[in-house]
Amino acid sequence: MIEQPFITTLRLLLRPFVLTDAPGVQTLAGDKSIASTTLNIPHPYENSVAEKWIASQAKNFAAGSSVTFAVSHRNDNMLMGAISLEISRKHRHAEMGYWIGKPYWNQGYCTESAMALLQYGFDILDLQRIFAHHLTRNPASGRVMQKIGMVHEGCLRKHVLKWNVFEDLEVYGLLQGEWKSLPDIIENMWYE
């Protein structure tokens, strides 16, 4: 069986979650500002939700249906967030999703993680397309998608019902060929 890899970038270690991360996940993902702009994170974040989520990840990785990495600082392994790919082997595409704990926002950590995940998805998983979406009212996430070279593909109007409000969703995507032709300077920013 293939083991989920560890990925090292300039500042980060992307690694599989372990059960001892659960309290950290509950604290960081439990902040309302994380639930507010994501579609699958509950609020309040009850006890045992993090444990169940972490426990599901190895099974999903083994099945090839998703891969989830803990975003941690490579110097001290401190947990800062999560990033994942939901994979369709049939279509060789995947949807990227991520959150970074509020104390760590706007330091480039999500962008650095997402660049690494693009490389993993295209080079290791041999995906044809990686896409992502964000609520229109969440421009920070859109900025991450732009910074990693994704192309804005459109707006799905009133596509999701979030906390009783129908909201617009912006869709971004990147093809393997486009990834390979991104300037080296972008890729090299995130690796040793």
Ligand X SMILES: CC(C)(COP(=O)(O)OP(=O)(O)OC[C@H]1O[C@@H](n2cnc3c(N)ncnc32)[C@H](O)[C@@H]1OP(=O)(O)O)[C@@H](O)C(=O)NCCC(=O)NCCS
Binding site for ligand X (CB under 6 A): 33-34, 37-38, 98-100, 105-111, 134, 138-141, 143-144
Instruction: Round to whole Å and give the CA distance between 117 and 85.
Output: 8
Q: How far is the CB of 183 from ligand X (least distance, A)?
A: 17
Q: Residue 16 burial by CB count (10 A; 0-12/13-18/19+): exposed, middle or buried? A: middle
Q: How far is the CB of 44 from ligand X (least distance, A)?
A: 16
* Cβ distance to ligand X smaller for residue 62 or 155: 155
Q: How far is the CB of 62 from ligand X (least distance, A)?
A: 26
Angle between helix axes 49-63 and 22-29 (nearest 10 degrees) is: 110
Q: How far is the CB of 63 from ligand X (least distance, A)?
A: 24
* Cβ distance to ligand X smaller for residue 92 or 143: 143
* Cβ distance to ligand X smaller for residue 22 or 115: 115
DSSP assignment of 64-112? TSEEEEEEEETTT--EEEEEEEEEETTTTEEEEEEEE-GGGTTSSHHHH
* Cβ distance to ligand X smaller for residue 58 or 171: 171
Instruction: Round to whole Å and give the CA distance between 41 and 26.
Output: 11
